[in-house]
């Protein structure tokens, strides 16, 4: 119980990124080791991590604690950015790559191709949130 606010989120992000993400990719028939370390994808590990921390604080410290309020607003910012802000970045990557492809061949090679898949969809964020709630509930149920 000493490091519970660190260990449960670490367990959550590990399961989300290195267990659930590959399983879902395999089920969709497009598994790649590169996907494990890339942005985007199902579930949102960012959403799972911050939801896990917020849920752990809610269970251990209570919904009326200042730690819960801080964690909740932190989680909302991270989740909104994972979907919204990075969504704009994905669109910019697509536009920049199109502009690079339109360049003459002798100029095209000078520019790095931008990553176009860095945002999460709303469903990926929601599944990440659910994972982030479920894991602390299960772990703490067995500890308490």
pTM of the model: 0.78
CB 73 within 8 A of CB 123: no
Closest CA to 132 of 30, 35, 47: 47
Spacing of C-alpha 21 from chain mean position: 10
For 64, left (φ over 0), alpha (ψ -120 to 50), or beta?
A: alpha
Return phi, psi of residue 139, to 5°.
-65, -45
Distance (Å, rounded) from C-alpha 90 to C-alpha 71?
27
Q: Locate 45 and state its tokens.
A: 């590990």
Distance (Å, rounded) from C-alpha 89 to C-alpha 85?
6
Residues 73-90, mean pLDDT to the nearest whole number: 83
Q: Locate 40 and state its tokens.
A: 């985007």
**Other CB atoms within 10 A of residue 21 CB:** 22
Between residues 77 and 33, which one has the greater pLDDT? 77
Least confident of 19-33, 35-49, 74-88, 117-131: 19-33
pLDDT at 94: 81
In a 3-state reduction of DSSP, which class is residue 28?
Answer: coil
Domain boundaries, the chain: 4-143
Over residues 111-139, the pLDDT tens digits come to: 777 676 766 778 888 988 999 999 999 99
In the chain the beta strands, taken as DSSP E runs, fall at none
């Amino acid at each position: 119980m000493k490091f519970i606010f660190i260990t449960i989120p670490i367990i959550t992000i590990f399961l989300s990124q290195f267990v659930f993400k590959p399983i879902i990719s395999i089920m969709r028939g497009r598994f790649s080791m590169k996907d494990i370390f890339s942005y985007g994808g199902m579930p949102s590990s960012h959403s799972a991590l911050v939801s896990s921390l917020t849920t752990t604080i809610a269970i251990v410290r209570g919904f009326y604690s200042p730690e819960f309020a801080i964690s909740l607003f932190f989680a909302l910012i991270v989740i909104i950015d994972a979907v919204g802000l990075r969504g704009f970045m994905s669109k910019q990557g697509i536009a920049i790559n199109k502009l690079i492809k339109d360049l003459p061949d002798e100029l095209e090679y000078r520019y790095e191709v931008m990553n176009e898949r860095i945002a999460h969809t709303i469903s990926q964020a929601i599944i990440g949130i659910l994972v982030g709630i479920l894991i602390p509930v299960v772990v703490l149920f067995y500890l308490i």
